[in-house]
Amino acid sequence: MSDSKAADSSAANQQRAKSKQNAQITIGALAVMNIVAVVSLRGLPSEAEYGLSSIFYYVLAAVVFLIPVSIVAAELATGWPETGGVFRWVGEAFGPRWAFLAMFMLFIEVTIWFPTVLTFGAVSLAYTGDNQNLDAQLAGNKLFVLAVVLVVYWLATFIAFRGAKAFSRVSQWGGIIGTIIPAVILIVLGFAYFFAGNTPQIRMGWGELIPDFGNFSNVVLAASIFLFYAGMEMNAIHVKEVKNPTRDYPIAVLTAAAGTVIIFVLGTLAIAFVVPQADINLTQSLLTSYNDMFEWAGIGWAGPIVAFMLLIGVLAGVVTWVAGPSTGMLAVAKAGYLPRFWQHTNKNGMGTHILFFQAFMVTGLGLTYVVLPSVQAAYQILSQLTVILYLIMYMLMFAAAIYLRYSQPNRPRPYRVPGGDVGMWIIGGVGFLGSLMAFAFSFIPPDQISVGSPVVYVGILVGGAVVMVILPFVIYACRKPHWRDESSEFVPFTWQIEHTHPGTVTESSVSTQQLTREAESSGSPVTFSHHDDGGPGEHHGEPAATVQGTAPPAPLGTRRGKGTSGGSSAV
């Protein structure tokens, strides 16, 4: 027993030393990675309507959403770094049923996001012409927008079929060319316009920083800021590559958060300075802002160039994201949560049936541009539905992080949210409540956009959200044992390896990876089976880990900081 503990301690020390040797990401590099992952310019016009009060909304969303997401995701990613991401995090706390809901929300949210970002790409393409009047008419043409959305998305899908190498070069520089450089140009010209003595198109003064809370319908566009900040959790996995995660990661996150807020605030104000509030169009104002600024600066010829750069950024992002969520869903499918039909892959390992499903969804959503009264209305409805679904996933993530502090209190976490359990309650709780607030506000019809009947608008959002939430529960209830691909590399949840149930409090103080290795070294490899034991926390047919040829043993790796309860230990 003592020899085993000594060996484990030595292995842990070697692992820590190896991690320090492999630490290659600096604070600055990680901060830049987070900024590039989050920042997008397409939503700035929607916030420019608020003028100086947009600063309040940006800072509020950063405090109650951006920073909590970044810090909480870091703890989850380092404590449970195995394949699965949010699916694993939620599954460790609440079981596969809720984990599948979280993963499905992410997959569907991205699918709905594609038409909105491609709408921005279509407008950028329209503004690459020489005649601004004709460009504006083309950008507002629903058939043109629909054609661009469908052609570009299906092209990106077929590129994704060829595997990651086919599009890695396209996406490598897309963020810099299509986002960072245009953002710098926008901010420099917008503030140059203001400091040159031109009259800004918004009211100035300290009193304008405080928004009008009496007009509830204005808040719906402000709630969309939360989605501006979405995605910071993607780089949380790199915490292990930082030399001193406890100190360096918070610095990198706060630096990235500050940089992101600065870009959004200054970019939004640059538009607000130049474009009159009455003329702001959610899909066209960014391009018209550039054109107005270039005309003022005497470089009108630069407008089509920036429009083309923005289009490059959109296309690079879409090509990258077409394969990303579908690959995650493929891993979950092979773990036994989707029928074999959805696990079909081509020679490049890409989930072709999932990609086709995603493409047909985008096609159907794109057709809403023909039905709704304006492109702006379709853009706003799809954007808000995206926010709603994404926030459901985030609420599950925050709840899981808090719950895991109690159900798996001793699980190794290379990075922990500062302040102990109280700190987790404060930061995770603020993130959860902030997400809940934005979720509720997202159903309020905006006054600024003609969306037809407010009843129809709210009905589409409510109906769409309800259908998307029910669907994963139906799929989960119908799953079969043979759905699981035996070649799947998906590691069982910790509570499966320990033969307990989701949410059961465990004092185990070793990682999931070590638990798996211990099971394999004991000659009892972990496998999956479907059973219904009716135990607490166990759902009908839930996949559970068992040990081949034996009865369920005592939990593996149950090392406790204050001795061993129960009279025995498996190790």
Structure tokens at 500: 């307990």
- Residue 350 Cα distances to 157, 161, 316, 325, 341, angstroms: 11, 6, 18, 11, 13
Q: Which two tokens stand for residue 354?
A: 């999932």
Do 77 and 295 meet the contact criterion of CB atoms below 8 Å apart?
no
Q: How many of the other CB atoms lie within 10 Å of CB of 489? A: 10
Residue 517 lies in a domain: no
Let me know if residue 558 belongs to a domain: no
What is the amino acid identity at position 120? F
202 inside domain = yes
Contacts of residue 517, Cβ cutoff 8 Å, sequence gap at least 6: none
Query: For residue 570, is it within any domain?
Result: no
Number of domains in the chain: 1
Residue 474 three-state SS: helix
Note whether residue 495 is domain-resident: no
- The answer to whether the pTM exceeds 0.85 is no
- Indicate whether 141 belongs to any domain: yes
Query: What is the distance between the alpha carbons of residues 416 and 432, in angstroms, rounded to a whole number?
Result: 18
Q: Give the CA-trace dihedral at 90, 468, 373, 280, to 10 degrees.
A: 0
- Give the CATH number, domain containing residue 350: 1.20.1740.10
Specify whether the CB–CB gap between 164 and 323 falls below 8 A: yes
Domain assignment present for 48: yes
Which residues are bridge partners to 526 per DSSP?
547
Residue 125 near residue 311 (C-beta atoms within 8 A): yes
State which residues form the domain around 455. 31-483
Question: H/E/C letters for each residue in 64-104?
Answer: HHHHHHHHHHHHHHHHCCCCCCHHHHHHHHHCHHHHHHHHH
Q: Is 492 contained in some domain? A: no
Per-residue pLDDT of the chain (571 residues; tens, 9 = 90+): 433 333 344 444 444 444 444 456 777 777 777 777 777 787 788 777 778 888 888 888 888 888 899 889 888 888 887 777 789 899 999 999 999 999 999 888 888 888 877 877 787 788 777 676 787 788 778 788 888 888 888 888 887 887 766 555 666 677 778 888 898 999 999 999 989 888 887 778 787 777 776 666 566 656 667 778 887 776 665 666 777 776 777 788 788 888 888 889 999 899 888 877 766 665 566 877 888 888 888 998 888 888 888 888 777 777 767 766 777 788 889 888 999 999 888 887 888 899 999 899 888 887 776 666 666 666 677 778 888 999 999 999 999 999 999 999 988 888 889 899 999 999 999 999 989 988 988 887 766 555 567 787 888 889 989 999 999 999 999 988 889 888 777 788 888 888 888 888 888 787 777 777 776 676 555 555 444 333 333 343 444 444 443 334 444 444 433 333 333 222 2
